[in-house]
Amino acid sequence: MDSIIAESPASPPSPYNQPFFTNIKEEEPQMEIHSKNAPAIYQPTTAEVVSKVEALLESVIDSLLQKQKKIHIPIHVKKQAPKPSIDSSSRSFTASAWTRVLVNFPGRDSREVFKFAVLWRILGLVHEALAKGIIVSKRNIYYKDPALFKTQSVVDRYIDIVAYTLGVQRAALNVTAAAKGLVAGSFAVIRRDGIVGSERSHLAMSLIDEVDDIMSIDTSGVAWILVVEKESTFRTLASSRFHNTSKAGKGIIMTGKGYPDLSTRAFLYLLSISRIPKQSPAPIYALVDFDPDGINIMSTYKHGSWNLSHEDANHNVPSICWLGPKSEDLLFHNGDSDKCESEMVSDGEGAGLLRLSLRDRRRAVGMMKKNNLKKSGQDKEWRRELQVMLMLGLKAEMELLGNRKKGLEAWVEQKLIIKNKTKEEHK
């Protein structure tokens, strides 16, 4: 196969010098705030991860054998602080501060006992998966002991805590999340076992593949990639085969069903680094609601999220651009700022326009304090659109575009054609 190919990223190993525990004394304070950098996130070998997990487990067993009054499991938890950064040259993770928490048994209260039991159980299950060389889902882990975990969110949270404490990505623990995202389009997946998946343009849609199983992706002939915020809108476009029939050329449509999970972000990242001979990388656009959450979802694809910032190195897509809808698409007729359309209604309701809620306003103001949305930040257009929302007190859902004479598909198609034409002119 001559064309192709986005290869799965492999970050160079870097030493992880932050110890899991250091001669913990009983009088040591419960929490320590560290202003130094958080542990670097890298791609370790399975043996290294097993060694780290066993070090934690053995520290507890040693404490039991020594009949210590208290047993500790030290963990690293991110302190609320400005968004960490990713060094683009080394793809290493740094954060301004983290908190070292000693989870004790016996604990100060029932909540701490619960945390200790959950951590101990998860460490044991992760060690078992690594030792046997099997991949387990977070859902599988939950069903190993639902009486203990209570809810799936408990498992999700503590898996991320364990990964952060060990200084590795979640995939290094042999733990994966169940697929959430959907994709439709003209591409073929080449798996690590050598199996070449069939070209998928004939399929209406499919679940996004687990990136750990992918060696490369063939995106030959793809003219554009569209990330859609909402599943309903994605299904509208996919069911009409928009990715095959659009005048903008063949493309790929995908959705993370709102805020994306790691699998969806990783798959988009893999698509974004496709390098096909004699073909420029396909531009990536986002179709999101005209509201603070829509911009925040787009920002998650581009810059990552705070909660999973230690996973961002091979998940962020800096090249993603906003297709719309923007204020000019919703408030003005055909982009003419002098002609206000009837959709600009006085009460802010009807025709798809809604009033900003107090939560929306708080979120917008908070977002503009982030580095990328400050006055000097790189996403100046996003900041301006947030300011428009706040000034007018209005937001809009993308379904508004479906009320136009030619409908949503025609609007998206026209935007893609204009964007691609502009791209060609700037070559």
Q: Which residues belong to the active site?
A: 143
Q: Which residues make beta-bridge pairs with 103?
A: 73
Residue linked to tokens 């070449």: 196
Question: Tokens for 132?
Answer: 């046997």
How many helices and strands in the chain, by DSSP H and E?
Answer: 13, 19
Chain centre distance of CA 169: 13
Return the residue matching tokens 């698509």: 271
Residues near 9 by beta carbon (within 8 Å), at least 6 away in sequence? 91, 269, 270, 273, 313, 314
Report the b/e string of 379-390 with b at 16+ CB within 10 A: beebbebbebbb
Cα–Cα distance, 86 to 276 (Å, whole number):
26
DSSP 196: B
For residue 101, list its beta bridge partners: 31, 75
In this structure, what DSSP letter does residue 260 have? -
- Specify the residue for token string 């460490």: 123
Q: Which residues, including other chains, have CB under 8 Å from residue 24's CB and lie 6 or more apart?
A: 72, 74, 102
Which has the closest alpha carbon to 105: 68, 149, 142, 159?
68
The answer to whether the beta carbons of residues 190 and 246 sit under 8 Å apart is no
Residue 275 per-residue DSSP state: -
Pairing of β 98-105 and β 31-34: antiparallel
